[in-house]
Amino acid sequence: MTRAAVLGAGSWGTAFAKVLGDAGTDVTIWARRERVAAHIREYGVNNEYLPSTRLPERVTATSDPAEALKGADFVILSVPSQSLRGNLADWAPHIGPDATLVSLMKGIELGTTKRMSQVIVETAGVPADRVAVVSGPNLAPEIAAEQPAATVVACTDLDRATAVQNAITTRYFRPYTNTDVIGCELGGAVKNVIALAYGIATAMRLGDNIKAALITRGLAETTRLGVALGADPMTFAGLAGMGDLVGTCTSPLSRNRTFGEHLGRGETLEQAQASTRQTAEGVKSCLAIRDLARAHGVEMPITEQVERVCHEGVDPRVALTDLMSRDTKSE
């Protein structure tokens, strides 16, 4: 019997545990707070993040990471990106020697500008070919409700990607494999920043033309950064690129887009933050992505402006004027 540990009991960790359970894997979720774990054990429900989803019998929970990780073939990492390094340092001694580590996270680490798989390799001391990434248009509430979705499992070791694919294939969840880890991770992280911009534009009632332009030019700057870092440009035309970008920007369920709407209504960063307990990864990652782009000499004008609005208190109207008045160029 295959076993998985899901570390992080937020929306996506919990929905992903359900997918694994429905596909026939025994799952133990690690929750930071014992009362969340106890509620899952007793009622089969994560009442804090997905209160209307009943988890399969095969899914249980604990607040003890060693218990969650015992005998796990798949170690699923689903905490906020900026807390991964600290958490994983504690968890690493309990991870089995051949376990596959699977990142669900869509962020870039502040300060180091590292992708999550790089943080995992460094912190857990595992080779890169034991780390897989799952990324695509995967809004957790829809998947928890068994609405159909597709995703990408990326790993440089195709056999491991296929093993993860098999462990998460259900009648409502369809994973594709890919070996481009860099492209899949960048697609997932940068789309959160573009979704912030899309949310800002939505709240400012700027119209559908500019929203389509943000998606298209957002994908262009994501691809530019990806290519500079060694990604396959075709990845950005796939589910982990365009798919996730369109899904996130256009869905009112997206925390990043919703956060952007708060900013677009004129709220400060602090006011927008006070409106949600959930993770809008783009808010912090826009800083790291901007730094990464600058370090590689890549222009990311939308990301630059999102960073200014989020962290430098720039009025979104000023950011828009700056974007529209850049030097003209070829597409």
Ligand X SMILES: NC(=O)C1=CN([C@@H]2O[C@H](COP(=O)(O)OP(=O)(O)OC[C@H]3O[C@@H](n4cnc5c(N)ncnc54)[C@H](O)[C@@H]3O)[C@@H](O)[C@H]2O)C=CC1
Ligand Y SMILES: O=C(CO)COP(=O)(O)O
Which residues sit at the interface with ligand Y, rule CB under 6 A? 106, 137-139, 192, 195, 244, 247-248, 254-256
Q: Which does 165 bind (CB under 5 to 8 A by kind): ligand X, ligand Y, none?
A: none
Pick between residue 68 and residue 320 the one whose CB is nearest to ligand X. Answer: 68
Are the beta carbons of 266 and 157 closer than 8 angstroms? no
Residue number with CB closer to ligand X (250 or 278)? 278
CA atoms of 106 and 285, how far apart (whole Å) = 9
**Set 18, 114, 191, 284: catalytic member:** 191
Among residues 15, 265, 312, 309, the alpha carbon closest in space to that of 138 is found at: 15
Q: Give 248-313 as a 3 state SS string.
A: HHHCCCCHHHHHHHHHHCCCCHHHHHHCCCCCCCHHHHHHHHHHHHHHCCCCCHHHHHHHHHHHCC
Q: Other C-beta atoms within 10 Å of 207: how many?
A: 11
In the complex, minimum distance from the CB of residue 7 to ligand Y, in angstroms, rounded to a whole number: 18
Q: Is 100 in the site for ligand X (CB under 6 A)?
A: no
Q: Which is nearer to ligand X, 273 or 278 (CB)?
A: 278
Phi first, then psi: what are they for 173, rounded to 5°?
Answer: -130, 120
> Closer CB to ligand X, residue 8 or residue 226?
8
Residue 325: partners with Cβ closer than 8 Å, 6 or more residues away: none
Residue 244 is assigned to a ligand binding site: yes
Q: Is 256 assigned a ligand-binding role in the annotation?
A: yes
Cα–Cα distance measured from residue 288 to residue 286, given in angstroms and rounded to the nearest whole number:
6
In whole angstroms, the minimum distance from the beta carbon of 271 to ligand X comes to 19
Binding mask of the shown chain, residues 111 to 150, with x at each position contacting ligand X by CB under 6 A: ---------------------------xxx----------
Residue 329 catalytic?
no
Binds 107: which of ligand Y, ligand X, none (CB < 5-8 Å by kind): ligand X
- CB 325 → ligand X: shortest distance, Å? 32
Q: How far apart (Å, rounded) are the C-alpha atoms in residues 153 and 285?
A: 22
Strand residues in the chain grouped as ranges (E): 3-7, 26-30, 59-62, 74-77, 100-103, 131-135, 149-154, 173-178
Residue 9 engages ligand X in binding (rule: CB under 6 A): yes
Calpha distance 263→197 (Å, rounded): 9
> CA-CA distance, 238 to 111, in Å (whole number)?
29
Q: Give me the least distance between CB of 287 and ligand X, in Å please.
A: 15
Minimal distance, residue 315 CB to ligand X, in Å: 27
- Measured CA to CA, the distance from residue 114 to residue 57 in angstroms comes to 37
Q: Work out what residue 80 binds among ligand Y, ligand X, none; the CB cut-off runs from 5 to 8 Å by kind.
A: ligand X
The residues binding ligand X (CB under 6 A) are 8-13, 32, 49, 78-81, 83, 87, 104-107, 138-140, 278-279, 281
Report the catalytic residues.
191
Known binding-site residues for sn-glycerol 3-phosphate equal 106, 136, 191, 244, 254-256
